[in-house]
Amino acid sequence: MLPAELEAIPAIGELARWDPSVITEGRLERGELTLVIEPAAILRVCQYLKERGFLRLSSVTAVDWHPSRPRFEVVYHLHSLETNQRVRLKCRLDEPAEIDSVTGVWRAADWYEREVWDLFGIRFRNHPNLRRILLPEDWTEHPLRKDFPVHGRRYDYAEEEA
């Protein structure tokens, strides 16, 4: 059940009534609206919100809460130009982390999801081109994970020969 102040926001109240099972948590902190969404429903929720004015996908990113569980949070920032309302959607995922791509809803999601894959190793199902975007293609790890050392790994030339 959402707090009353969130129910009062038109698009959010409608979303909660449309399918109460998709929102597991909602809060308004420091004037910012956060909804925790059931990962399996993310595509439906995004589609629904886009039809209700959230034309802009501002960004997609992730947070690694290692060693806590569930480990990852995928964070979507949406913005409605009509009502000047921002909303943050969050999906909590555990390893192996995988979630539906929202590229079908906003084309803007393409590069953002590739970046999250590249830096966190979270897979996006049905992404048209899920390749690394910032790191070289032959890179093997995902550096923004908390268990990746900030100085990187020591390179071993013997491995290269093998």
Partner 1 sequence: MGGKPEDTAPGEAAGAAPRRLTLNMGPQHPSTHGVLRLVLDLDGETVVRAEPEIGFLHTGIEKEFEQKFYQQGVTLTDRVDYLAPLSNNLCYCLAVEKLLGLEIPPPAQWVRVMLTELTRLNSHLVWLGTHALDVGAMSVFLYCFREREDILRIFEMFSGQRMMTSYFRIGGLALEPPRGWHHAVKRFIEAFPCKVDEYEELLTRNPIWLQRTRGIAQVPLADLLDLGVTGPMLRAAGLAWDIRKAEPYSSYEKFDFEIPTRQESDVYARYQVRVEEMRQSARIVRQALEGMPSGRYVADAPEVVLPDREKMKTEMEALIYHFKIVTGGFRVPAGEVYQAIESPRGELAYYVVSDGSSKPWRVYMRTPSFGNLQCLPRMLEGGLIADVVAGLGSLDFVLGDVDR
Binding residues for partner 1 (CB under 8 A): 29-30, 32, 34, 55-59, 61, 63-64, 75, 77, 81, 84, 86, 88, 106-108, 110-112, 119, 132-136, 143-144, 148, 150
Compute CA distances 2 → 19, 28, 43, 56, whole Å: 12, 10, 20, 24
Minimum Å gap between C-beta 31 and partner 1 is 9
**DSSP E strand boundaries for the chain:** 23-29, 32-37, 56-64, 72-80, 85-93, 98-100, 123-125
Residue with smaller CB distance to partner 1, 24 or 59? 59
Residue with smaller CB distance to partner 1, 19 or 82? 82
Count Cβ neighbours within 10 Å for each residue of 17-54 and write b for 16 or more, e otherwise: eeeeebbeebeeeeeebebbbebebbbbbbebbbebbb
Residue with smaller CB distance to partner 1, 24 or 34? 34
Residue with smaller CB distance to partner 1, 32 or 94? 32
Minimum Å gap between C-beta 65 and partner 1 is 8
Minimum Å gap between C-beta 17 and partner 1 is 26
Residue with smaller CB distance to partner 1, 21 or 84? 84
Minimum Å gap between C-beta 25 and partner 1 is 13
Residue pair 135/116 in contact (Cβ under 8 Å)? The answer is no
Minimum Å gap between C-beta 23 and partner 1 is 18
